[in-house]
Each structure stands twice: as C-alpha cells, then as structure tokens.
Chains A and B, each alone.
Chain A
Amino acid sequence: MKERKGLIIGSVILLIIFIGMLIKGEPSKSILVWIAALLTLFIYSFLYRDNIFYKFAEHLFVGVSVGYGISVYWQNAFIRKVFDPLFITKTYIVDGQFHLWPLLAIVIPTLMGLLMLSIFTKKQAWLIRIPIAFVVGMSAGISVPSTFQAYIFEHTKNTLYITLSISSFIMIVGVITTLVYFFFSKEHKGLLGKTANIGIWFIMIAFGASFGYTVMARISLLIGRMNFLLYDWLGVIK
C-alpha cells in the first residue's frame, strides 16, 4: 500500500516535471524523435521494475534486431557471396574459360552452411557437427600465430623494455606474480601461495582502474542519452 502510494506520488511529480518541460522547452516536431524518446523512457522504466512498457520495448527491440539481422545476413552472406557470384557475376568464368576452383570456393562453403539446417531433421541432425567442427578447427588454427604475436611476443617485449627505475621493478614483479597466480599445476601454498597473493593484488588494482575507466565511458553514454531527451526531444537545453 505504502509502495503504491509512493509510486503514485512519484509518477505525478514526474508528470508535472515532464509537462513543465513541454511548456518551457521547444519539443521536437519529428514523430521519429518522439518514438525514440518514448522507447528510451520505456527501457529506463526497467530501473523501477519489470512492467508492460519495458516488455513492449524489449520485445520490439529483440524483434526488430532479429528482422534486421536476417536481412543483413541475406544480403551480405547469401546474395553477395553465393547468389551473385554463382548466377550474376559468375566469378568462375574468366575470359570465357571455366575454372573449377573458384566454383568450388563458392559451392563447398555453401553446402557446409546448408548442413547447419540438418538440425531440423531427426535422422541427419548429426551432420551439423561437420560445419561446427570446421569453424572451430579453422578458427583455432588461424588464431594461433596472431595469439602468439599479440599475447606472448608483444607482452614479453614490452615487459622487457626496462630501465633502472621503480616503475620497471613494479612492472616486472606485477607480470611475474600475476603469471604465478594463473599457475594451476601446484597448490597455492608456501612461497608459491605468497607470490600468487601478490599477483591477485596486482590483478585487483588493475581491475579497479579498469572499472573506473569503464564507468566513466558509461557515464558518457548516459550523457548522450540525456542530451537526446533534453535537447533533441524536449528542447529544454539549448
């Protein structure tokens, strides 16, 4: 009962503020801005609790994004990479000569993709494992050199750029103790445990800095949305 009373009072206050802004400001005349603004408010209503407005915005968002995704995939994957090269541009015919490899380069991935649809059958559903295995295997293989380069060589090289200074000492200790924390072959006891504890301190300090940095980035997103509501929609701020 108390909650409902608070809700009614809160809603009335918000309504009065909103009407005041409408009178005081220069509300947008674009229907699209109004739709975007109302949907923004519907999503923000989640901060109170789940409600019909949030449900509407959520379902609309999911539905529209799925529809958009399908159209993008259809155009970018099927039309551009399969249909056009097979039937329109015919990339496998060069100077009037038929070439098998360019044709197979289109047909084999297409067939592999079609195997994904085997999940809709009961008996042939196992065929889906072929494209999945291909994607996982290929991706793992491709990522090996780049992962070595980015995560081992670059990090080691940059750690080795040391000078006779406190900061270099902290960096070396931080890198080594953090690596020790992620050592799984031995129980973290004794010297190893103490080293790993120092490592977790370094990790947490880094996470704290990252947390602060990311929160600031999120605040800038909020400012952007508020700017849209107060400037583009209500015209309260100039």
Chain B
Amino acid sequence: MNVLLALLFLMQQTPNSLPSDTTEVIEVVRPAPPTDVIAMDTPNDVGGSVSVQWEISEDDGKGLNNVILYNVFRGQSEEGPFDYIGTVGAGRTSYDDQTVEKDKVTYYYILKAQTKEAVESEASNVASGKAAPQWFHHGRWNILILGILFALFFAFYIRMAKGKKLFIRKIAGLDAVEEAVGRSTEMGKPVLFCPGIGYLYDIATIAALTILGRVAKKTAEYETRIIMPNYDPVVMSAAQEIVKQSYTEAGRPDNFNEKDIFYLTQDQFGFAAGVDGIMLREKPGAIFLQGVFYAESLILAETGHSVGAIQIAGTDRVTQLPFFISACDYTLIGEEMFAASSYLSRDPVMLGSIKGSDASKVVIISVILIGAILGILGGLNIGPFGTWFQSLVNWFGRG
C-alpha cells in the first residue's frame, strides 16, 4: 500500500475562508519506488565511476503517473546511511556516479522516485558496485582496426620514401614562398611570420613550424630579417630552435637574432592588436600567417593587406579559411598545409606520411562508395543489402 495519510500541518488562513484554528488534513500519495536496481563498474573508463541501472517506477509514465525524477543515494555500507549524490529525470533508467573517491571499494546505492510535490517514494532495493579502471575501451575496436590499417600504410610508405623519391604534386602557393622572401629582400623590408594562437600540440602549429624552417632558411640566404611574434612561450622556444637551425644550415649562424622571435601575449585579441601594430610599424614585405587562427584571422590578414605585403596563409581551421582566401595572396587549405610542410622539408617520414594519408583516403572513398551502393540497393529492398548497409553504418557508429 503506497497511499499514506501522513503529513499534517496547520495553515494560517484568511478569516473569510477558514477559521484560524481549523486543521486541514492533506492526503499524500507516495509513488512506487524504482525496482531491480543494480550497480556496476562503468565500462571502458579510467575508473572513478559506478553505473547504476534500474527499472522505472510503476508510477512513471503509467499508474498514478506522478513521478518527475529519481534521486540517487550512495552509502558505504548496506545498512546506510545513504547520502544524496544526484538526480535524473523520469523515464531514465541509469545514472553514472562519477564522484566515486576510491576504485575497488564497494559502494551501496538506493533510489527514490519523487513527485512534483516533492514527495519521495520508499527506498528501492540496495545495489552494490565498485569502480575499476580498464586498459582497453571495448567499444573502440573499430578505431583500433582502422588505426592499424592506416599505420601499416604509413609504415609502408615511410619505408618506401627512405629508398626512393616519392612524388607529391606541387601545391599552389609554395613557389610563392621564395618569391615573397625575395620581394622583401629587394624592398629592404623584413619578413613577418605569425604562427597563430595554437599550441605546440596542434598539428597545424607543428606544420607551421616546418614551413617556418624553410622560410627562415630563405631569409638567412637572402640576409633578410625575420620577425616572429608568439602567442605561446613553448612555441616560441621551438621556433627559436628551428630558426637557429635554419640559419646554421644556411651557413649564416651569426645573422640569427633570437630577439626577433619573441613572446607577445597569450590573450587572443591582445595578440591580434600587437601583431597589427608590428605590421604597421615594421611594414614587412612578406607576411606568413601559418598555424591555428580563430577570430583574429581577418584582423591580421586585412592589416597585412593594408601595408601592401605579399601574404601566404595556411590553417586547418575551416571557419577561418574563407577570410584568408579573401584577404591573402595564397592560402594553404587544411591538409595542403601539412602536405606543403612535407613537400618543403622532403623528409622521408613526412613524405611517407602524406602518401600513407592518401592511401587512407582511398580506403575512405571506397567505403563511402560501397556504402552508397549498399544503401541504394537496401533502399530498393533488394536482397540482404539493407542489412549489410546497416551493419556498415553501425560499425562506423561504434564507440
């Protein structure tokens, strides 16, 4: 019997409704509690989480239909006490307790359904579970398989690149690197290289640093000054190393001035304002905007355009590419930037990676084509193609 006559309280009423000494009896109806509560380690995680699952209350969406949420409680022993740890809405049948302090320690859980009037049900059965970390994410077999396949492509082509010269098509804009540095030299103006506001772990920043190596080598050969304001001090340190190396390779280590590769600020628009100021005062003949850019991209590209510099931009940020395309002379679009860095360096590992990446693209194109054909045949209800198509989609949707 879930119906209880419980809560009694005196209410101060207005004189024309009820006398002040009237006692009102309110019938409080408790909802049915959730059932079959179980607790288990959350799969495929680093520990620190227990998943609680249950069958919904008989009054959730049916019966009295008055359950609006479930409160989850956790205790250190089966008898309690149980502390409130979280709430989920009606209809839900699971809750991940991510506040577990210790792995491999048993915790006990109960649930209570709650109504709009904040009336809770009786407690559910007690469920116990302990958290544990897993080494392997079993939902990501697909990533492992494709990862191994692609890694094999990379390894194969890198090995191949070490033995013979691999072909990579010329990328528009790369010839302009030499032209831009040459023009700066003729005009007696410096070259400005802006690596954007990325960090050293951004692939675009790493590609930008490879391109920087090539540009610095050219500036060293032409004895042109290269200026490089930095957003991140770690990128700055790496850039200093790369430029120093390029100057040494060009046989002009004495011309290297590490003060031209400096830290500006780590504020996005402070950086943009600073680089704009440098562009206006130094009036570079060539500007390289390579790396990770966000909203400051157009500010920088427009200012560079206004000082009459040749601009070569490159980024993998899709939303910023249109601005570079409209305001710069040459733009390396996304992967072109990575290919450009490989093309310039001629490093076998990087060339092999681009080849491996191309082979991976062939696989993806094939999958899409096969999927499209299966999807069309499945849509026309021909043979088992619909099932095969669904299996393919599910495989890519795992994890």
Seen from chain A, the residues whose Cβ lies within 8 Å of a Cβ on chain B are 43, 46, 50, 54-55, 57-59, 61-62, 64-66, 68-69, 116, 119, 128-129, 131-132, 135-136, 138-140, 143-145, 148-149, 152-153, 156-157, 159-164, 172, 175-176, 179-180, 182-188, 203, 206-208, 210-211, 214, 218
Across the interface, B368 reaches (CB within 8 A) one of A135, A153, A176, namely: A176
Which positions 259-301 of chain B face chain A at CB distance < 8 Å? 264-267, 269-271, 273-274, 276-277, 280-281, 295, 298
Among A61, A184, A214, which residue has its beta carbon within 8 angstroms of that of B270? Answer: A61
A58 and B276 contact, CB distance less than 8 A? yes
Query: B355 contacts the other chain (Cβ, under 8 Å)?
Result: yes
B171 CB to nearest A CB, Å: 8
Enumerate the 6 nearest inter-chain pairs by beta-carbon distance, A residue then B residue, closest first.
A139-B201, A65-B267, A65-B270, A211-B322, A157-B396, A207-B322
Query: Does the CB pair A50–B267 fall under 8 Å?
Result: no
On whether A69 and B265 interact (CB within 8 A), knowing A162-B375, A175-B368, A176-B365, the answer reads yes
Inter-chain contacts of B325 with A (CB < 8 A): 207
Chain B residues 138 to 190 lying within 8 A of chain A, measured CB to CB, are 140, 142-143, 146-147, 167-169, 171
CB <8 Å contact, A182 and B361 = yes
Chain A residues near B267 (CB, 8 Å)?
61-62, 65-66, 68-69
Which of B240, B264, B379 is in CB contact (< 8 Å) with A163? B379
Query: Distance (Å) between the CB of A210 and the closest chain B CB?
Result: 5
Known contacts A69-B267, A153-B143; A184 and B367 CB within 8 A of each other: no
By the criterion CB–CB under 8 Å, are B273 and A61 in contact? Answer: yes
In the assembled complex, B206 has its CB within 8 A of some CB on chain A? yes
Judge whether B372 and A214 touch: CB under 8 Å: no
Complex: how many Å from CA A140 to CA B376? 38
The CA of A112 and the CA of B322, in the complex, are separated in Å by: 39
In contact, B361 and A66 (Cβ under 8 angstroms)? no
Q: What A residues does B397 contact at CB under 8 A? A: 153, 157
**Chain A proximity of B377: nearest CB distance (Å):** 10
* Distance of A142 from chain B, by nearest CB (Å): 8
Query: B399 an interface residue at 8 Å Cβ cutoff?
Result: yes
Question: Can you pick out 25 interface pairs between chain A and chain B where the beta carbons lie within 8 Å of each other?
Answer: A61-B265, A65-B266, A66-B267, A68-B267, A69-B267, A116-B233, A116-B237, A128-B237, A143-B201, A143-B203, A145-B143, A152-B364, A156-B367, A162-B371, A164-B376, A179-B365, A182-B361, A183-B358, A184-B168, A185-B169, A206-B318, A207-B321, A207-B325, A210-B319, A214-B323
Q: Which chain A positions have C-beta within 8 A of B269? A: 61
Q: Does B335 contact A (CB under 8 A)?
A: yes
Which residue of chain B lies nearest to A51 when distances are taken between CB atoms in the complex?
A: B280
Report the bound CA distance from A31 to B240 in whole Å. 43
Contacts of B169 in A (CB 8 A): 184-188
How far apart sit A62 and B229, CA to CA, in the bound complex (Å)?
Answer: 12
> In whole angstroms, what is the CA distance A43 to B277 when docked?
11
State in angstroms the CA–CA spacing of A145 and B399 once bound together. 11
**Bound state CA distance, A15 and B392, in angstroms?**
68
Quick one: closest A residue to B298, CB to CB? A218
Within 8 A of A (CB), among B330-374: 333-336, 339, 354-355, 358, 361, 364-365, 367-369, 371-372
Nearest A residue to B167 by beta-carbon distance?
A185
Task: Tell me whether A210 and B167 are in contact in the complex, defined as CB-CB below 8 angstroms, given that A139-B200, A148-B143 are known contacts.
Answer: no
**Residue numbers in B under 8 Å from A153 (CB-CB):** 142-143, 146, 396-399
Tell me, rounded to whole Å, the shortest Cβ–Cβ distance linking A145 to chain B.
5
Whether B98 is near chain A, meaning CB under 8 Å from some CB there, is no
Closest to A164 in B: B379
Min Cβ gap B272→A in Å is 9
A61 CA / B299 CA spacing, docked (Å): 16
Complex alpha-carbon distance, A43 and B375, angstroms = 56
Least Cβ distance of B243 to chain A in Å? 13
Q: Does B326 contact A (CB under 8 A)?
A: yes
Does the CB pair B369–A210 fall under 8 Å?
Answer: no
- CB pair B323–A159 under 8 Å, yes or no, is no
For residue B11, CB closer than 8 A to chain A, the reply is: no
Q: Name which residue of chain B comes closest to A132, CB basis.
A: B238
Q: Is the CB of A160 within 8 A of B147?
A: no
Assembled-state Cα–Cα distance A55/B281 (Å): 10
Q: Is B241 on the interface with A (CB-CB < 8 A)?
A: yes
List B contacts of A162 (CB < 8 A): 371-372, 375-376
Q: Does B64 contact A (CB under 8 A)?
A: no
**Residues from chain B with Cβ under 8 Å of A69 in the complex:** 265-267
Q: B284 → chain A, closest Cβ, in Å?
A: 14
